Amino acid sequence: MCSQHDDNPASSSKQKEKGNAESKVNDHEIDNEMPDWETIELPPDHILSHLVDIHCHPTDLTHSSNIYDDVKLGGLASMATIIEDQDKVRALSEDREWYNPSHTKNTERKGKGKGWDGKGVGVIACFGYHPWFTHLYTLSSTIDSKPSKSEHYFQLFSPTSQKNKDLLESLLPYLPDPIPFQPLIDKLKDDIKRSLNEGRLTMLGEVGLDGSARMRWPKKAKHLHPDHANKDQDSHKVKNHKFDDDQEEVEEWKRLTPFKVPMSHQRAILEKQMDLAVELGVNVSFHSVACAGPSLDLLISMRNKHGIKFTNGINVDIHSAGGWSAEFWKQAERNLSNIYASPSIFITGRSPNASSLLSTISKDRLLVESDSHDVRLSDRLVWASAAWIANCKKWKLESRDQATTETSPENKSSFEEWSFDDEDKSDDGDDEFDEKGKLKTTKRDETDVWTVKTLEKNWYRFMRL
C-alpha cells in the first residue's frame, strides 16, 4: 500500500552528483544511487508511454478526469485494499478503459492503456484484500457461526499481558463486528469474472503477507490514545497538535495498537484469494513485508497445490520487490518461474540493500511501479524507478544515453518512437529460456540492453499478451 515519502534535504547535492555522472553515461560508469524523483529530467512523452505503473492506489484520492488525461505512462494498475475499494476500482477501470487486445479489433490499442482517442491513461482493475486489514475478517463459514466481537478479537490477538488484555477490552466498543470473509470472496470472484468477461485487463491485488502488520487504533477511540490523553492540558498544543479538530477532517488517523495480526490468519485469507486467482487465470500483485520466508513458502505451496495452472497460468509480481535480500531473491527465482518484482522509489528505496537486489533480479523478471496514490506523481516516480534499474543493471536508458536519429544526435527528444510489435519481431531469437522457463544469460545482456524496451517486453510477458 502506498506510503508517504520524507522530504530529502540532500536532493540538490544529489542532483550535482547525478550531473557529474551523466558525463560518463556512454561508458556506463553510473553508480547505483537511487535518482531523485522530484528533480529527475523526464524523457519525451512517447518514451513514457511504453512504461506501465504496475502498482498504485489512485482511488485513495479523488482525481478529476483531466488529471488522468495528463498522465504520459502507458497505463496504471489500480489496487484495491479494503471492501470499499472494490467498486471504486471497477468504476475507475470502466471510466479509464483498457481492454485485452484479444477482445478488441482495434490493434492500435494493443499494450498501451490509452483511450480511443489516444488521450489519457488506461487502468487495469485490481481487486483484492490487503493483509493490513485481515483482522476485520472471520473465516467462519456461515453468519450463524460468526463469533462475537469479543471472541473474534481476543482469539485472534491472544493478548498475554494484563495491560494488553485491558487495552483490547477498552477498544472493543470502537471496533467493528467481525466480517465473514466467504461473502467477500464470492463478490471478489464476481468482480473479477465480470471484468474479464468485458475484456478488461484485470488482476488480483493488493494481497499478501505482512510480518509487521498491527491493528490500527480505532479513530473513534483516539481519546484513549496516549498521544491524545493530555490534549486539554496545554492550550498551545491544542492549536498546533495534529489532532486539532480542524485538521482531523484532513488527516487520517494512523496510530497503531500493539496487536499484531497472526501470520496464520493472514495466510488463510490470502490462500482463498490466491486459489481464486489460479481458478480465473489472473495475475497477482503480492505484498510482502518483513516475511520473505513465509511469502516464498506460500507461493511454493501454491505451485505444489496447483501445478502448471499456477506456474503457467498466472504470474506473481512482488510489489516493491518485497524488501527481500539479493540471495533470497535468487532462491525465489530458482523455485518459481512465474515470479516478478517491481521496485518503487518510496518503498524499495528504504532498504540499504536495494541496489544489490535490483542488480540480482533477472533481466526478464523486472517491472516498475510508483506505489503512489497521487496520479500526478506517477510519471516521475515510474521514470525514476526505471532510471534506478538502468543504473543498477548497467543498462542503457532511452533518451539519456544517446539519440538514435542521425539528423540530430545531440538532441535527446529525437530518440525515435518504436512499435513493440516491430521491436518484438526484431528481437526474435535473442532471448533463450531453459527448461524451467528461466532466461539464459547472453553476452548481449551485459552490453546492449535498453531499459524501457526491456521493461515493456517484460510487461507483455507478465500479462501474457
410 phi/psi in degrees, rounded to 5: -95, -5
SS3 state of residue 32: coil
Average of per-residue pLDDT across 355-379: 97
Categorize the per-residue pLDDT at 240 as very low, low, confident or very high, splitting at 50, 70 and 90: very low
pLDDT in the model for residue 63: 93
pLDDT in the model for residue 433: 54
Same domain, yes or no, for 360 and 235?
no
Grid coordinates given for 197: 468477461
Highest average pLDDT, of 104-113, 132-141, 261-270, comes from: 261-270
Same domain, yes or no, for 208 and 266?
yes
> 194 pLDDT exceeds 80?
yes
Same domain, yes or no, for 278 and 360?
yes
Q: Has residue 421 been placed in a domain? A: yes
pLDDT in the model for residue 374: 97
Same domain, yes or no, for 125 and 205?
yes
pLDDT in the model for residue 422: 60
Greater model confidence, 415 or 180: 180
Same domain, yes or no, for 157 and 195?
no
* CA distance readout (Å), 170 to 167, 221, 232: 5, 9, 21
- What's the total number of domains in the chain? 3
Residue range of the domain that includes 169: 144-177
Same domain, yes or no, for 308 and 195?
yes
pLDDT in the model for residue 424: 57
Q: Which of 3-12, 181-190, 448-457 has the lowest mean pLDDT?
A: 3-12
How far apart are alpha carbons 377 and 374 in whole angstroms? 6
Long-range contacts for 103-108 (Cβ within 8 Å, ≥24 apart)?
103/199, 104/199
Q: Which of 44-58, 155-169, 330-344, 392-406 has the lowest mean pLDDT?
A: 392-406
Q: Has residue 122 been placed in a domain? A: yes
C-alpha radius of gyration, the chain, whole number: 23
> 18 pLDDT exceeds 90?
no
Q: Give percent of the chain above pLDDT 70.
A: 75
Same domain, yes or no, for 233 and 348?
no
98 phi/psi in degrees, rounded to 5: -145, 110
pLDDT (tens digit, 9 = 90+) per residue, 249-294? 335 668 999 999 999 999 999 999 999 999 999 999 999 999 999 9
pLDDT in the model for residue 241: 38
> 430 pLDDT exceeds 60?
no
Distance of CA 388 to the CA centre of its chain: 17
SS3 state of residue 195: helix
> 158 pLDDT exceeds 70?
yes
Q: Looking at the chain, how many residues does it have?
A: 465
N-terminal to C-terminal alpha carbon distance within the chain? 26
Q: Has residue 312 been placed in a domain? A: yes
Grid coordinates given for 333: 527465482
Same domain, yes or no, for 114 and 244?
no
Same domain, yes or no, for 133 and 244?
no
pLDDT (tens digit, 9 = 90+) per residue, 387-404? 999 999 999 999 888 654
SS3 state of residue 342: strand
To the nearest whole number, what is the mean pLDDT of the chain? 84
Q: Has residue 7 been placed in a domain? A: no
Sign of CA pseudo-dihedral 282, 188, 182, 257: positive
How far apart are alpha carbons 370 and 382 in whole angstroms? 5
* CA distance readout (Å), 315 to 63, 186, 386: 30, 22, 21
Residue 412's domain is classified under what CATH number? 3.20.20.140
Same domain, yes or no, for 249 and 264?
no
pLDDT (tens digit, 9 = 90+) per residue, 309-343? 999 999 999 999 988 999 999 999 999 999 999 99
Same domain, yes or no, for 153 and 55?
no
Highest average pLDDT, of 117-121, 394-398, 404-408, comes from: 394-398
pLDDT in the model for residue 253: 66
pTM here? 0.84
